[in-house]
Amino acid sequence: MALTITCPICGKRNGYEFRFGGEEKGPRPAEHELNPETWCDYVHNNNCAAGVQNEWWFHRDGCGSWFTIFRNTLTNLEVDGPEETNE
Amino acid sequence: MNRFYQLPTLRIDPTRKKTFTYLGKTYQGVDGDTVAAALYANGIRIFARSLKYHRPRGLYSMDGECSNTCMEVDNIPNVRAENTLLKNGMTVKAQNVKGTPEKDFMGFMDKMSWAMPAGFYYNTMHKPASIWPIALKQIRKVAGLGKLAPDFEMTGKYDEIFPTADVCVIGGGPAGMNAALAAAENGLRVILLESRPWLGGFFEYRAAQYQNETPLFQRARDLAKQVADTPDIRTFTHTAMVGAYNNNLITAFQTGGADDSFDQRYIEIRAQSVVVATGCIERPLLFENNEKPGIMQIACAHRLARTYGLLPGEKAVFSIGHDLGLEAAIDLFDLGLKISCVADIREDGQDPDLVEIMRRKKIPLLRGWVATDAHGKKTLNKVTLSTLQGTRDKEFACDLLVASAGMTPVTGPLAVAQAELCFDNHTGFFLPANLPVKMHAAGRMLGLNDALAIEASGRSAGLLAAADCGSSVDTSLNEARADLENLPGPVKGSKMVTAPVKGDKTFICFDEDTTVKNIKQAIKKGFDVAELIKRFTSASTGPGQGGIPGHNLPLFVAQYNADPDVSAKPTTIRPPLVPTFIATYAGANHDMCKRTPLDALQKKAGGVFRRIGVWSRARYFSQDFTCRDEIENVRNNVGLFDASTLGKFRIWGPDALKALQRVYVGDMSKIADGKIKYSAMCNEDACIIDDGVVIKRGENDYYFTTSTARAGAAVEWIRYHTRYDGWNFNMVNLTDALGVINLAGPNARKVLAKVTDADISNDAFPYAGYREFKIKDTIPVRVMRLGFVGELSYELHTPSSYMPALWEILEDAGSEFGIRNFGLEAQNVLRMEKCHLIIGAESEQRTTLHDVGLGFLWDRTKTDTKTVGAFALKQTEKQDGRLKLVGFKMENSDARAPRDGSIIVDSKIRGYVCIARNSHTLNEVVGLALVDESLAETGTKLEIYEDECGDERLYAVVALTPFYDPDAKRLKM
Ligand SMILES: [Zn+2]
């Protein structure tokens, strides 16, 4: 309940306003690349990191955006992500 | 009882009387009284009986720190009488008594205490296991204090707010007020919480001198005025802080005053920085019969007089360990209390000024003495004092014993915030050793006693909090710190835990009736840590949590063990820090429901409304809940149905089609102009989550419907599954902007033709067609020829504001054809007869598109669209062991319909009945069920088990579907 989340459009808001959308795993592989194992990995298996993870949130009671944040699952607080590197 | 009416510290208005009843008798209190104060004013001394031994209990702390004064108020049990303001007409009852608190028939339990050592239940009920059910019943009977009537309904108004602040200050005493003022001076927004109905804390009721002839209570009022005059400080009084969570989230409960719109309010505060200045309570003095009514703590006695105008007794003995005790003795003496003796645990170190005043007033003072026993049958009549070593003793007759071992900080807020607390030898306090980030402690809880030091400490904490919020406070902070250093620091505290007694009737925890003897028994059994002893003896597991035993239990354990390795550690306490109604946590009633644009019209038409999901909907239009007339009229004439709750969406933009292809299982590129396309959405597991129709209204511009239940999640779902693609499309939820009327029945065309010039003949507007035209040249409608109820029907979508007009026009036009409303239940039966599905009724979380027989909707050729669920649709297409949707009829034609949700069994559970009704149209019972594949063959017998039906079973047979109009002629009429 103490979680706050920074929406890219609305800014830092109460965590109650958002819905969790799972770990960031990248786009779903194309159908021909899928077999039951890779499908299962993509849809159901999670890393469940004890620490910082990148994850999706939906601003349900706000602007309706889907976006990712970094959250420390041990403290349940939003944290800064790793430094963005220039390619 | 005579009351003081002139003291400047009073918080009562004696001219405003309040009437209440206690145990059926009528009493009077005055405005400002708590329930406890009003009872005390009326001579009530015994407020309750204790949990286990039914010992009489009375006023002790005046702050509700134990269950002594938990009472039943207006049928609500466990109300803290010391914290609850008296209201006119209140009904008050004592708890845990058989008879009255004065004459309790369970009083003999006190004599049985020898038979119930610590861990009694653990030990006795341990073996054999067969005793558990019996023991459980007996224990249940005696466990707990209050009683709830089975038909009890909580009354009152409960609210909630979620304010934010830069700084949240917990505790409205001198330190807290200084902290709040210091932070506000730096331009910060401050929230100040105080558990009593007024600010002032330890200063608030005391007449002792603050500075330059100003008494402490005046200083408290001056500070409170400054706070009130500071707009950036938002003060919540009568508000107990109950929880702290990370990110400095603070929760509290506020009791509403006479002018508030609520009785209790849940407050959740987000603050950047937090100051805890909760001060001290008194540490109970442990001696024999230390909780007999007539024994109370210093502040309790002092506040009875100073705040409520009640002299706490006639003849008193004091046994104290802190200068506050001497101060109170002098003040109460001046107010007329006779004092036989003041025993001070401390051999020396008293404030010489106070000692001198006592000498002048001839109040006897014994240093190094302590109370060892309290006498009296039910209430106090005599006290034994002895030297600390127990070498000499003296007895004094009295009706009041003011007893207190010393001070102990209110560390609850720090503890729930996960601060590390360490025992400090000098103060004898548990002091914060490691505070969470952006949290500060201040004031008396740090061991300070000097009034100016307490204020300086609060000021400095307020500045630190301001610094947390980015204010530059260096200069003022240095000043405040310098001030603090020049003022007296923490005072040496008394560490005495128990008088020299055996402890058989020395209560360390009042709530749970735990004695010092019980603690010794637990230690003998090998428990050496307070945290474990707490569980074994249940000390400090009552409503007061660590209030009364919080400090004494760990201290006693450490001293008794005399083990240098076992340093005193406080036991864990958890939110809520004070007893709280569940109703307060629940807060305001969130149950909001939506009404359709036809709500008023349908109510006028006799609609019987039910709450369905987020909507209030007309379920029936008569008291015949089988809806026979409504159904027959749709089948034979024409009916009107309000389908406004359907989810309705526009999606448009260059990539709109791609988004539709992603979420719908069908091929959305093949939507013909003027046609509707029925399709479904699945999740990645191929489970069906929604069905609806899609219409192409223009280039890259689509209109689609979802089921009522899915309307709230559709946009989120589509955005989620396209979140990586960066597609350019827009969506808007039109569910509330548009209403829908379903005009259904063989006469539907005749009705519609009367109100539009558009050609709606079967050739011009066939089944599955879509048209847009106007009704009476005015009302724009989007019309779909669908057949959900199995008849010729037109679904008319129109802006919500036109809905009532459209409804009346159709009703008018249809009157010659016998048009009438039909409700949700009629629709449910009609569509079931036709075997049209409702997702969620004929499916559950694990039901796939294939299971409900809609696999044909899936277009397996569009493999490049990454359709959600497509892979699993392939995988589950021929999967074994699934529940399949079937229709059924009853084996005996006169059998009744099984209840929705009944289970289909053989030796195991094989499925369940989704819906079954006695069909008037078909003249037999029909239904739909999800059954094991092996039972899905037509003609298979199904055995149906209803909840609580015993050995009785209903038998059905799998039947061909649809039951009604299998050739689908009627909807194409
Ligand atoms: Zn947002």
Using the Cβ of A3 and the Cβ atoms of chain B, whether some distance falls under 8 Å is answered with yes
Residues from chain B that touch A19, judged by Cβ atoms under 8 A, are 716
Of B268, B724, B871, the CB nearest to A34: B871
Nearest CA in chain B to A22: B720
Residues from chain A that touch B870, judged by Cβ atoms under 8 A, are 31
Of A34, A58, A77, the CB nearest to B246: A77
Residues from chain B that touch A32, judged by Cβ atoms under 8 A, are 863
Please check the confidence at residue B960 and state whether its pLDDT lies above 90.
yes
For residue range B146-192, what is the model confidence (pLDDT) as tens digits?
A: 888 888 888 889 999 999 999 999 999 999 999 999 999 999 999 99
Nearest chain B Cα distance for residue A80, angstroms: 15
Q: Tell me what pLDDT residue B449 has.
A: 94
**Average pLDDT over all residues of chain B:** 93
Q: Could you tell me the residue ranges of all domains in chain A?
A: 20-26+46-87
Q: Tell me what pLDDT residue B495 has.
A: 82
For B243-259, what is the mean pLDDT? 92
A10 phi, psi to nearest 5 deg: -100, -10
Q: Is the peptide bond before B962 cis (omega within 30 degrees of 0)?
A: yes
For residue range B524-535, what is the model confidence (pLDDT) as tens digits?
A: 999 988 889 998
Residues from chain B that touch A58, judged by Cβ atoms under 8 A, are 716, 719-720
Nearest chain B Cα distance for residue A43, angstroms: 7
Q: Tell me what pLDDT residue A83 has.
A: 67
Please write down the long-range contacts of A71-77, taking CB distance under 8 Å and 24 or more positions apart: A71/A3, A73/A48, A73/A49, A74/A50, A75/B246, A76/A2, A76/A3, A76/B246, A77/A2, A77/A3, A77/B246, A77/B247
For residue range B468-478, what is the model confidence (pLDDT) as tens digits?
A: 999 999 999 99
| Alpha-carbon B948 to chain mean position | 33
For residue range B534-548, what is the model confidence (pLDDT) as tens digits?
A: 989 988 888 877 778
Confidence category of residue B564, pLDDT binned at 50, 70, 90:
low
Q: Tell me what pLDDT residue B862 has.
A: 93
Nearest CA in chain B to A42: B684
Listed residue (B293, B517, B497, B290) closest to B384, CA to CA:
B290
Confidence category of residue A87, pLDDT binned at 50, 70, 90:
very low
Per-residue burial over B838-861, b if 16 or more Cβ lie within 10 Å, else e, is: bbbbbbeeebbbbbbebbebbbee
Of B162, B724, B870, the CB nearest to A14: B162
Of A21, A32, A76, the CB nearest to B720: A21
Instruction: Collapse the DSSP code of B610 into the 3-class scheme (helix H, G, I; strand E, B; otherwise coil) and give the result.
Output: strand
Is B866 within 8 Å of A28 when comparing Cβ atoms? Answer: yes
Residues from chain B that touch A21, judged by Cβ atoms under 8 A, are 720
Cα–Cα distance, B945 to B921 (Å, whole number):
26
Using the Cβ of A1 and the Cβ atoms of chain B, whether some distance falls under 8 Å is answered with yes
Confidence category of residue B284, pLDDT binned at 50, 70, 90:
very high
End-to-end CA distance of chain B: 90
B57 phi, psi to nearest 5 deg: -135, 150
Of A21, A27, A65, the CB nearest to B724: A27
Residue whose token pair is 């963005």: A84
- Tokens representing B757 are 């010039």
Nearest chain B Cα distance for residue A42, angstroms: 10
Using the Cβ of B948 and the Cβ atoms of chain A, whether some distance falls under 8 Å is answered with no
Tell me the percentage of chain B whose pLDDT exceeds 90: 81
Per-residue burial over B819-829, b if 16 or more Cβ lie within 10 Å, else e, is: bbbbbbbbbbb
**pTM greater than 0.90:** no
User: Identity (one letter) of the amino acid at B920?
Assistant: H
Please check whether residue B572 is in contact with residue B234, taking contact to mean a CB–CB distance below 8 angstroms.
no
For residue range B461-506, what is the model confidence (pLDDT) as tens digits?
A: 999 999 999 999 999 999 999 999 999 999 998 888 889 998 899 9
Residue B724: HSE in the Cβ half-sphere, 13 Å Cα cutoff: 9
Is A31 within 8 Å of B875 when comparing Cβ atoms? Answer: no
Is A76 within 8 Å of B875 when comparing Cβ atoms? Answer: no
| Alpha-carbon B938 to chain mean position | 51
Is A39 within 8 Å of B872 when comparing Cβ atoms? Answer: yes
Q: Tell me what pLDDT residue A85 has.
A: 52
For residue range B913-934, what is the model confidence (pLDDT) as tens digits?
A: 999 999 999 999 999 999 999 9
ipTM over 0.90: yes
Of A1, A30, A66, the CB nearest to B723: A66
Instruction: Collapse the DSSP code of B628 into the 3-class scheme (helix H, G, I; strand E, B; otherwise coil) and give the result.
Output: helix
Cα–Cα distance, B261 to A63 (Å, whole number):
32
Cα–Cα distance, A23 to B85 (Å, whole number):
51
Cα–Cα distance, B375 to B380 (Å, whole number):
6
For residue range B690-717, what is the model confidence (pLDDT) as tens digits?
A: 999 999 999 999 999 999 999 999 999 9
| Alpha-carbon B421 to chain mean position | 29
Of B247, B684, B720, the CB nearest to A77: B247
Confidence category of residue B569, pLDDT binned at 50, 70, 90:
confident
Is A64 within 8 Å of B719 when comparing Cβ atoms? Answer: yes
Q: Which of residues 653-712 of B touch A (CB under 8 A)?
A: 684-685
CA angle B737, B758, B770 (to 5 degrees): 55
CB atoms within 10 A of CB B347: 11
Listed residue (B840, B835, B811) closest to B921, CA to CA:
B835
pLDDT top residue among B841 and B119: B841
Is B249 within 8 Å of A1 when comparing Cβ atoms? Answer: yes
User: Identity (one letter) of the amino acid at B556?
Assistant: F
Confidence category of residue B800, pLDDT binned at 50, 70, 90:
very high
Nearest chain B Cα distance for residue A50, angstroms: 17
Cα–Cα distance, B662 to B659 (Å, whole number):
5
Q: Which residues contact B777 (CB under 8 A, 6 or more apart)?
A: B757
* Burial (CB count <10 Å: 0-12, 13-18, 19+), residue B875: middle
Q: Which residue in A7, A42, A43 has the most chain B C-beta atoms within 10 A of its own C-beta, making it the best mutation to test that interface?
A: A43
Distance A16 CA to ligand 1 centre (A): 12
Q: Which residues contact B184 (CB under 8 A, 6 or more apart)?
A: B190, B230, B232, B233
Is A77 within 8 Å of B245 when comparing Cβ atoms? Answer: no
CB atoms within 10 A of CB B733: 16
For residue range B407-465, what is the model confidence (pLDDT) as tens digits?
A: 999 999 999 999 999 999 899 999 999 999 999 999 999 999 999 999 999 999 999 99
Using the Cβ of B875 and the Cβ atoms of chain A, whether some distance falls under 8 Å is answered with yes
* Burial (CB count <10 Å: 0-12, 13-18, 19+), residue B678: middle
Please check whether residue B306 is in contact with residue B206, taking contact to mean a CB–CB distance below 8 angstroms.
yes
Confidence category of residue B1, pLDDT binned at 50, 70, 90:
low
pLDDT top residue among B194 and B102: B194
Please check the confidence at residue B114 and state whether its pLDDT lies above 80.
no
- Tokens representing B467 are 């610094």
Q: Among the ranges B285-294, B544-553, B577-586, which has the highest mean pLDDT value?
A: B285-294
Confidence category of residue B774, pLDDT binned at 50, 70, 90:
very high
A vs B, Cβ pairs < 8 A, gives: 52
Q: Beta partners for B273?
A: B167
Cα–Cα distance, B314 to B1 (Å, whole number):
12
Please write down the long-range contacts of B521-524, taking CB distance under 8 Å and 24 or more positions apart: B521/B117, B521/B118, B521/B119, B522/B118, B522/B119, B523/B557, B523/B560, B523/B561
For residue range B877-918, what is the model confidence (pLDDT) as tens digits?
A: 999 999 999 999 999 988 899 999 999 999 899 999 999 999
Using the Cβ of B860 and the Cβ atoms of chain A, whether some distance falls under 8 Å is answered with no
Residues from chain A that touch B684, judged by Cβ atoms under 8 A, are 43
